[in-house]
């Protein structure tokens, strides 16, 4: 929706352009941050410690790592730095469910499997494919003996092959696991969650818990089977296959559920306790590194036990003061850039390391200079990683617009139900759903007090239908009159095919807490097939995807259920004022609703 502005109030064109550009940049940044926790994103920067680990490994000239781990205390720590791997898998599972479960709990649409997989592909594969092919031709010259390596690597299935898992580019196995988890999400988890989203609210949590529990059980069964069959520890195609990492994803998904049910800002702890959590997690990881190879149990379940340390770090981050030094540092643009570029840096660092060593530019099999060689590798890899992120990952991320034609087809209008809604009628005797999915008769909404009921569609809406555009502005305007409505004894409610994510875009997927004691609540009701909207006589369109979308219209309903005003207006704030004024007429007008409470 748009509101008119007077010519006198308009700023100069140059200033207006600058302001519009700044607003657009701010909106884009808000969209990127929506539903994300920047501090947890920053933990991905720990990937750079893996670069240090590989540099130390090469400097010792022992790919088995035995010499590293017995060399010194720092060698034990750095030589077992792969204990951090659970953090990255856990964050992947968390990011998935923090987004999807938020949509399920609030009735928002989930992405289709093909759309999700396409977006993951353009995020993960381009940089990998470029680096893989360059290294493959450089190292092997395209010889016929290496075609199987090319097949395993480019199909992202090398995590199942002991012979090919670490060939060409060593870190490619990690991407192989990530990609196969994305495929499972697209073909199994998303369809399941889409079905769960149709269940009553109280059953959705139980349904959403099924996929992570299956993943956890998969890893336990898989590793116990490997142990019972005495599969050697260096049979990487078994121990590093995707089932071995499924538990880490499952725990991350449960973490996402926990933070949806209890928002991060409600996890604050007194100042010393977050540091205690961090030190406890660090101590656990150090002890676990020392026990690797000593105990059969800690060796077999090394990464799963490492989860405890990762979780301690995550909760130490969440429970710390948001304005404290640590969390402010984690939100800084430079740290966020390092985290965003960590994936590209991780992919390129191994080829950089091998290239420098092969050409004797920086010999790495010299333990005495490993701090300097590590610093050089870090600088070169980070530079290449940031460049790859900036000029490959970011531009290609816009390719998801290729799905727009499909979206346009799905939102194509196939039928229109003409509007017949008018004042003087009553709320029809139809049933809608409340926030928990329980049925509520529509007339009961105005049993006790007058009601302002906002009808609006749910995303995505078809183009070329002005009456269906402007939901966010209308919701913000409704939010803006809560104090006035509470003072005048008027209830506020919305009715849409799906409950909106929030009153304002760019917020996390949990409803914001209301701190204004004078502001009344807004009751949100679901009308999945727009049956109530059609019974009211509102304009409703049916799309090719089967959605039924109502127009944006405000109903002023007197106590008892009589509709006294139907308000349609391009200016959402004026729409709300008109509806509120109609329910609270001034002196000289016959009251259309309950009397306005006397001022005290």
Q: What is the pLDDT of residues 37-64, one digit of tens each?
A: 778 888 888 777 777 777 666 666 544 4
Split at pLDDT 50, 70, 90, the class of 541 is confident
187-220 core/surface letters (b: 16 or more CB in 10 A; e: else): eebbeebbebbeeebeebbebbbebbeebbebbe
Domain count, the chain: 1
Task: Report the share of the chain in percent with pLDDT over 70.
Answer: 76
**List of residues 6+ apart from 264 with CB closer than 8 A:** 37, 318, 508
pLDDT of 513 strictly over 50: no
User: End-to-end distance of the chain based on CA atoms, in angstroms?
Assistant: 37
The reply to whether the predicted model has a pTM over 0.75 is: no
Residue 318 lies in a domain: no
Mean pLDDT (whole number) for 288-314: 87
Domain residues for the domain of 480 are 411-506+515-583
Confidence label for 261 from pLDDT (cuts 50, 70 and 90) = confident
Per-residue confidence (pLDDT) for residue 79, from 0 to 100: 61
Give the confidence band of 504 by pLDDT, cuts at 50, 70, 90.
very low
Beta bridge partners of 416: 541
> What is the maximum span of the chain, computed from C-alpha positions, in angstroms?
95
pLDDT for residue 547: 75
The rounded radius of gyration (Å) of the Cα atoms in the chain is 29
Residue 44 lies in a domain: no
CA distance 77 to 584: 71
Give residue-wise pLDDT tens across range 94-148: 989 988 988 787 666 788 888 889 888 888 888 899 888 888 887 766 566 678 8
Segment holding 406, helix H or strand E: helix 404-410
Structure confidence at residue 467 as a pLDDT band (50, 70, 90): confident
Q: Which of 27-36, 111-120, 474-483 has the lowest mean pLDDT?
A: 27-36
pLDDT tens digits, 181-191: 999 999 999 99
For the sheet with 548-550, list strands across it.
413-417, 540-543, 548-550
Tell me, what's the pLDDT at 402?
60
Alpha helices (H) in 166-300, listed in sequence order? 172-184, 190-196, 201-228, 236-239, 246-261, 272-291, 296-300
Whether residue 444 is contained in a domain is answered as yes
Provide long-range contacts, Cβ within 8 A and 24+ apart, for 58-65: 58/353, 58/357, 58/364, 58/365, 58/373, 59/364, 59/365, 59/366, 59/367, 59/369, 59/370, 59/373, 59/374, 60/365, 60/367, 60/370, 61/365
Nearest to 138 by CA among 326, 352, 322, 448: 352
> Residue 32, Cβ neighbours under 10 Å: how many?
11
Q: Show Cβ contacts of residue 164 under 8 Å, excluding neighbours closer than 6 positions.
A: 148, 149, 152, 153, 158
- Average of pLDDT values for 301-321? 90
The three-class DSSP label of residue 433 is: strand
Report the 10 Å Cβ neighbour count for 145. 7
pLDDT, residue 215, reads 97
Burial, 144: exposed, middle or buried (Cβ in 10 Å; 0-12, 13-18, 19+)?
exposed
Task: Indicate the range of 259-268, 297-306, 448-457 predicted with least confidence.
Answer: 259-268
Please report the pLDDT score of residue 346 as a whole number: 83
Quick one: average pLDDT of 530-540? Answer: 88
Between β-strands 451-455 and 491-496, what pairing exists: parallel, antiparallel or unpaired? Answer: parallel
Residue 196 phi, psi dihedral angles, 5° rounding: -60, -35
> What is the CATH classification number for the domain harbouring 419?
3.40.30.10
Mean pLDDT of 507-533: 65
Residue 531: per-residue pLDDT:
86
Bigger pLDDT: 413 vs 28: 413
Give me the pLDDT at residue 549, please.
84
Over the range 387-415, which residues count as b (16 or more CB within 10 Å of their CB) and which as e?
Answer: ebbeebbeeeeeeeeeeeeebeeebeeee
What does each C-alpha distance from 214 to 193, 210, 253 come to in angstroms? Answer: 14, 6, 11
Which of 54-63, 385-394, 400-409 shows the highest mean pLDDT? 385-394
d(CA 119, CA 100): 15
For the chain, count helices (H), then strands (E).
Answer: 26, 10
Q: Work out the mean pLDDT of the chain and round it to a whole number.
A: 78
Q: In whole angstroms, what is the distance from residue 447 CA to residue 450 CA?
A: 8
Among 148, 156, 150, residue whose Cα is nearest residue 134: 150
Query: Quick one: pLDDT at residue 146?
Result: 79
Model confidence band, residue 327 (pLDDT cutoffs 50, 70, 90): confident
Is there a cis peptide before residue 460, judged by omega within 30 degrees of 0? yes
User: Mean per-residue pLDDT for 317-328?
Assistant: 86
Where residue 65 falls (left for φ over 0; alpha for ψ -120 to 50; beta otherwise) is: left
Q: Confirm whether 447 is domain-assigned.
A: yes
Say if CB 465 and CB 492 are below 8 A apart: no
* Res. 423 pLDDT band, cuts 50 70 90: confident
> Is 418 a domain residue?
yes
Residues facing 540 on adjacent strands? 417, 550
Q: Of 43-57, 78-92, 468-482, which range is least confident?
A: 43-57
pLDDT of residue 405: 57
Q: 141 lies in a domain?
A: no
Would residue 230 count as lying in a domain? no
270-287: pLDDT as tens digits: 888 999 999 999 899 888
pLDDT of residue 308: 93
Confidence of residue 90 (pLDDT cuts 50, 70, 90): very high
What is the model's pLDDT at position 511?
39
Please answer whether residues 566 and 553 qualify as being in contact, where contact means their C-beta atoms are separated by less than 8 angstroms.
yes
Residue 381 lies in a domain: no
Rounded average pLDDT over 137-162: 81
């Amino acid at each position: 929706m748009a509101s008119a502005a007077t010519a006198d109030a308009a700023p100069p064109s140059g200033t207006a352009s600058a302001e519009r550009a700044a607003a657009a940049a701010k909106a884009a940044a808000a969209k990127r941050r929506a539903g994300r926790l920047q501090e947890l994103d920053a933990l991905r920067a720990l990937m750079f410690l893996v670069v240090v680990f590989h540099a130390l490994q090469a400097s010792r000239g022992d790919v088995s790592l035995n010499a590293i781990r017995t060399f010194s205390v720092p060698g034990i720590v750095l030589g077992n730095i792969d204990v951090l791997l659970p953090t990255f898998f856990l964050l992947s599972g968390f990011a998935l469910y923090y987004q999807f479960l938020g949509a399920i709990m609030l009735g928002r649409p989930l992405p289709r499997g093909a759309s999700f997989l396409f977006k993951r592909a353009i995020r993960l594969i381009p940089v990998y494919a470029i680096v893989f092919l360059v290294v493959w031709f450089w190292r092997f010259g395209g010889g016929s003996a290496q075609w199987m390596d090319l097949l395993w690597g480019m199909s992202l299935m090398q995590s199942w092959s002991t012979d090919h898992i670490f060939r060409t580019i060593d870190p490619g196995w990690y991407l192989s696991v990530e990609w196969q988890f994305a495929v499972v999400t697209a073909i199994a988890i998303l369809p399941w969650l889409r079905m769960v989203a149709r269940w009553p609210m109280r059953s959705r949590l139980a349904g959403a818990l099924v996929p992570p529990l299956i993943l956890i059980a998969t890893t336990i069964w898989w590793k116990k089977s490997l142990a019972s069959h005495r599969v050697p520890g260096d049979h990487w195609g078994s121990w590093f296959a995707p089932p071995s990492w499924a538990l880490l994803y499952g725990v991350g998904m449960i973490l996402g559920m926990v933070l949806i049910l209890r928002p991060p800002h409600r996890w604050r702890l007194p100042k010393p306790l977050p540091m205690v959590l961090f030190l406890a997690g660090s101590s656990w990881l150090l002890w676990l590194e020392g026990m690797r190879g000593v105990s059969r149990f800690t060796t077999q379940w090394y990464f799963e036990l490492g989860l405890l340390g990762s979780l301690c770090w995550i909760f130490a981050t969440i429970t710390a003061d948001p304005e404290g030094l640590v969390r402010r540092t984690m939100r800084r643009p430079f740290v966020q850039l390092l985290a965003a570029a960590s994936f590209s840096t991780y992919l390129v660092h191994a080829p950089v390391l091998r290239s420098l060593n092969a050409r004797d530019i920086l010999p790495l099999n010299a333990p005495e200079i490993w701090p300097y060689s590590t610093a050089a590798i870090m600088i070169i890899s980070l530079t290449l990683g940031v460049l790859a992120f900036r000029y490959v990952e970011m531009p290609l991320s816009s390719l998801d617009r290729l799905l727009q034609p499909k979206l346009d087809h799905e939102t194509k209008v196939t039928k229109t139900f003409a509007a017949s809604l008018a004042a003087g009628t009553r709320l029809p005797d139809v049933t809608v759903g409340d926030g928990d999915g329980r049925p509520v008769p529509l007339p009961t909404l105005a049993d006790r007090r007058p009601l302002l009921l906002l009808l609006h569609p749910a995303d995505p809406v078809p183009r070329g239908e002005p009456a269906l555009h402007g939901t966010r502005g209308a919701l913000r305007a409704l939010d803006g009159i809560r104090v006035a409505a509470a003072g005048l004894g008027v209830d506020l409610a919305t009715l849409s095919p799906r409950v909106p994510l929030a009153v304002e875009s760019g917020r996390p997927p949990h409803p914001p807490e209301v701190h204004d004691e004078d502001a009344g609540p807004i009751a949100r009701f679901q009308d999945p097939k727009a049956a109530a909207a059609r019974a009211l006589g509102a304009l409703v369109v049916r799309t090719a995807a089967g959605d039924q979308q109502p127009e944006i219209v405000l109903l002023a309903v007197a106590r008892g259920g009589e509709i006294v005003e139907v308000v349609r207006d391009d200016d959402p704030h004026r729409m709300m004022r008109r509806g509120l004024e109609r329910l609270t007429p001034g002196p000289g007008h016959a009251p259309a609703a309950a009397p306005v409470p006397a001022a005290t």
